[in-house]
Amino acid sequence: MKYTMTKNDFVDAFKGVRGWSDTYKNNFSYEGLRALFEYFEEYEEDTGENIEFDRVIIACEYSEYENLKEFQEIEGSNIETLEDLHDHTTVIEVDTTDGFIIQNF
C-alpha cells in the first residue's frame, strides 16, 4: 500500500500536526521543509525512483542553517562560500531567506 504525500503532509509530519509526534518539530523551518519536499520531488522526477518517507532518517541526514555564518560556527568549518559548500555536499537553498539545508557529510 502506498500513500502519496503532499507538501502539507510532509510539513505536518515534522511539525507534529494531525496526530504526528512533535519530536522533530524544531529540526527544520517551515520554509526549509517546503524546500526539502521540493528537492525530494525533483529527485523522484529526475530518477524515476520513489522515496520512502522516514522522518528519522531525513532528520539525521539533513541539517538546516540560517546562513553561512551559522554553518561555519556550528560546524567549525573553513568553507567560505555557498559555492564551496556545493563542492562538498548537497545544498538545498531555502527561498526568501539566506538559509539552506545540507545533506550531512
Alpha-helical segments (H) within the chain: 7-15, 30-47, 55-61, 68-75, 82-86
CA 7 from centroid of its chain's CA atoms? 13
Could you state, in order of their start, the residue ranges of all structural domains in the chain?
7-103
Q: What's the sign of the alpha-carbon dihedral 8, 11, 14, 17? A: negative
How much is the average pLDDT of 72-98? 94
14-47 residue pLDDT tens: 998 877 888 889 999 999 999 999 999 999 999 9
Contacts of 93 (CB under 8 A, 6+ apart): 35, 82, 99, 100
pTM: 0.89
What pLDDT is stored for residue 7 in this prediction? 95
Residue 105: pLDDT band (50, 70, 90) is confident
Contacts of 33 (CB under 8 A, 6+ apart): 10, 11, 14, 15
